[in-house]
Amino acid sequence: MHTNYLGIDFGTSNCTAGRLDTGGQPELLALGANSPYLSSALYLPWPDDFDAEDEEQKKPSLAQLLRQPDRALLGQAAHDRYSAAPLGGVFIRSPKSMLGSRLTPLQTQLYQQVCSLMLTHIHRRADQSAGHNNQHSAEFAVIGRPIHFQGIDGSDGDARAEALLRHAAAQAGFREVQFAYEPVAAAVEYERTLTAEQLVLVVDIGGGTSDISLIRLGPGHARVADRSKDLLSHAGRRLGGVDMDIKLAIYGLMPLLGRGSLALNGKPLPSALFSDAVNIIDIYAQEQFYQPASAKQITQLLEIAAEPALVTRLQHLHQQHLSYYLVQQAEQAKIELAEAAATQVQLDRLQSGLATVLDQAMLDHALYVEMNGLRGLINECVAAAGVKPDQIFLTGGASAAPGVKRQLQHLLPDVPLIAGDRFGSVGKGLCTLAALHFG
């Protein structure tokens, strides 16, 4: 079997890559420090001659920083540097979230460069692994993709996203790339455990998208590369864990920074800046938020706020570049609320001793639209297939959100629910599909 291929889960929150081992089992490579998971994050430090404290000095643009890719930090190293020095550069997380959207030519180029940086890192790690195991350099790849990257412009948006990733993969050193639906890849991994044919509803809720597929699985289908005949229906939209984190930050944490508070005239303060502050999935929006114009708008809010102490915290967030910090606290709260009725969130970097309690009611309120959207996707998929599944296979990092299981148990109460490897099922399935395509 050839080994110059990879199955790549280019995820919104984490990436994995791997191939089948000599025994035909999926094996994920170490992309991080002793971990198969590479956090989808980059940190681009300012040039050595740039002084972030000098307000008169113009900040380098993102395009300028990307011209020095060797200075970029990826994965956990990016998180660590941001945590230690949020003012020392530009932190980027979840670039996949914007693929397929209506980007300008410049924005398309920027996202392509960011994706290329990540895929180059993956390619180098694979080559290092190949060198240790007398294997060939990775030339071919099957990359996972959601049913719909964005939902904007339908198939046209999906085609734009695929084209961008193809160019990024070519820049990273891959000679040929195929794409496979992420829920189908997860199904292929689950299929290895089956001894009889089943109709399985795969519910894959990742960092950026929710994908639902009803697929026929079983030992008799396991060596088939093209599973289109087994895929009875699918539905998907951009609705994932990072969106949930942002919503929880907006509804649960941003009131501490003035969202929803009143102006001196008794009217609510304008809400746009509070949402912009935590819109971490849009690289361009974050770059704009940290321009002087936003600082001026926050100063204007301070002048009209009935509770200026709250808006002072927003000003501190802006001055210290703490957008990702705030969303990270919301993400941790969401994780803890999967097991607890309530959790305390500490926000000491915004103000010493600042804390709040988030509970299940707040989480349900923040994710109301998301859970309704998920219910619609499940109903759409089952109705399109015209059959009831034998099993539900649940995967994806955001599938642990309490509302997800409640939706499934309400809609399909008699169908057994099986939880897979939340972070690894898609990547392992892509290893198998890549072997079938290129092995």
User: Can you tell me the distance from the alpha carbon of 2 to that of 135, in angstroms, rounded to the nearest whole number?
Assistant: 9
Give the model confidence (pLDDT) of 62-107 as tens digits.
Answer: 999 999 999 999 999 999 999 999 999 999 999 999 999 999 999 9
**Domain ranges in the chain?**
5-183+427-438, 194-240+371-420, 242-368
Is residue 133 pLDDT above 90, yes or no?
no
Locate 428 and state its tokens: 């392992």
pLDDT confidence tier of residue 282, bands split at 50, 70 and 90: confident
Is residue 2 pLDDT above 70, yes or no?
no
Amino acid found at 425: S
Domain 194-240+371-420: which CATH class?
alpha beta
- Give the per-residue SS3 of the chain: CCCCEEEEEECCCEEEEEEECCCCCEEECCCECCECCEECEEEEECCCCCCCCCCCCCCCCHHHHHCCHHHCEECHHHHHHHHHCCCCEEEEECHHHHCCCCCCHHHHHHHHHHHHHHHHHHHHHHHHHHHHCCCCCCCEEEEEECCCCCCCCHHHHHHHHHHHHHHHHHHHCCCEEEEEEHHHHHHHHHHCCCCCCEEEEEEEECCCCEEEEEEEECHHHCCCCCCCCCEEEEEEECCCHHHHHHHHHHHHHHHHHCCCCEECCCCECCCHHHHHHCCCCCHHHHHHHCCHHHHHHHHHHHHHECCHHHHHHHHHHHHHCCHHHHHHHHHHHHHHCCCCCEEEEECCCCCCCCEEEEEHHHHHHHCHHHHHHHHHHHHHHHHHHCCCCCEEEEECHHHHCHHHHHHHHHHCCCCCEEECCCCCHHHHHHHHHHHHHHC
Is residue 132 pLDDT above 70, yes or no?
no
Phi, psi of 187 (to 5 degrees): -65, -40
Is residue 285 pLDDT above 90, yes or no?
no
Relative to beta strand 210-217, strand 231-237 is antiparallel
Asked, colleague to colleague, whether 5-183+427-438 and 194-240+371-420 share their fold, the answer is yes
Q: What is the pTM of this model?
A: 0.91
What pLDDT was estimated at residue 403?
85
Question: What mean pLDDT value characterizes the chain?
Answer: 92
Is residue 57 pLDDT above 90, yes or no?
no
Other residues' Cβ atoms within 10 Å of the Cβ of residue 77: 16
Is residue 353 pLDDT above 60, yes or no?
yes
Other residues' Cβ atoms within 10 Å of the Cβ of residue 436: 20
User: Can you tell me the distance from the alpha carbon of 239 to that of 223, in angstroms, rounded to the nearest whole number?
Assistant: 31
| Range 5-183+427-438 classified under CATH 3.30.420.40 | yes
Report the percentage of the chain scoring pLDDT > 90: 79
User: Can you tell me the distance from the alpha carbon of 47 to that of 53, in angstroms, rounded to the nearest whole number?
Assistant: 14
Question: By mean pLDDT, which of 28-32, 54-58, 61-65, 147-151 is the weakest?
Answer: 54-58
- Cβ atoms 38, 122 nearer than 8 A: yes
pLDDT confidence tier of residue 55, bands split at 50, 70 and 90: low
What pLDDT was estimated at residue 318?
96
* Residue that has been written with the tokens 């009889």 in this structure: 196
Question: By mean pLDDT, which of 54-58, 199-203, 247-251, 330-334 is the weakest?
Answer: 54-58
Is residue 39 pLDDT above 70, yes or no?
yes
Please give the residue that has the higher pLDDT: either 296 or 287: 296
Give the model confidence (pLDDT) of 306-322 as tens digits.
Answer: 999 999 999 999 999 99
What pLDDT was estimated at residue 338?
86
What pLDDT was estimated at residue 287?
86
